[in-house]
Every structure is written in structure tokens, then in C-alpha cells.
Amino acid sequence: MKATATGRFIRTAPRKLGLIGDMVRGKPVEEALNILHFSPRAASVPLEKLIRSALANLLQQEGSKKIDTDDVIVRELVVNGGPTLRRFMPRAMGRATRIRKRTSHIRVTLEV
């Protein structure tokens, strides 16, 4: 059985989220949540929330059946870039430079 959760327009760069996502992809859910919970990176917070949401979706989908969370695996974790917010910062001699505030889209798939 599969369950997915999607997070869109997350205000963290996809490169940062991708590094954290690589650590938990293919691992059991309990181990993945422990890695994310004790990771010092701020990018691990939205990933932890999404994995918890996907797990809740899986448990809701099953209904009356009992699912052992030890058997659930993070089958797929995809981090894509979202739209970039463009801002400008004043610089010396009347110039301005572009500041890119990147966003991400994340899709998590869990499987029993």
C-alpha cells in the first residue's frame, strides 16, 4: 500500500532540502524521523512534517487494518525547485544586485 504527501512553495532552497532528503530516502520511517528530528539543519523540519503527514495518510487509508510502522519505508522523496522570488538589494555607487529567494516542492511516498 502506498501513501503520498506533497509540500509546495516551501521557503527553503531545493539544494538544501535535497541534501537532507538523500539521508532519509529508502530508510524505514522510524529511522528517517529520528534522523530528521536530531539533525541540526533547519531544512529537516519541513521534511519531518511531510513524512509524518504521509504516515498519517497511510494510516487513514488503511482504516481498520493494523499497520506496523516498522514495516513502512520512505520509498520516494523528490525535491524540485519552485518559483524564485526576486528581490533587489542596494549596492555601492548607485547599483543594485538581485537577491534570489528560492522555493521548493517536495513529494514523499511511503510504502508498506
Helix axes 29-37, 44-62, angle to 10 degrees: 150
pLDDT of residue 64: 56
Q: How far is CA 76 from CA 23, 26, 51, in A?
A: 12, 7, 11
CATH number at residue 6: 3.90.470.10
pLDDT of residue 66: 77
pLDDT in tens, 7-34: 999 999 999 999 999 999 999 999 999 9
Domain containing 100: what range?
2-111
pLDDT in tens, 40-72: 999 999 999 999 999 999 888 867 577 778 889
Q: Looking at the 3D structure of the chain, how many domains does it have?
A: 1
Global pTM reads 0.85
pLDDT of residue 21: 93
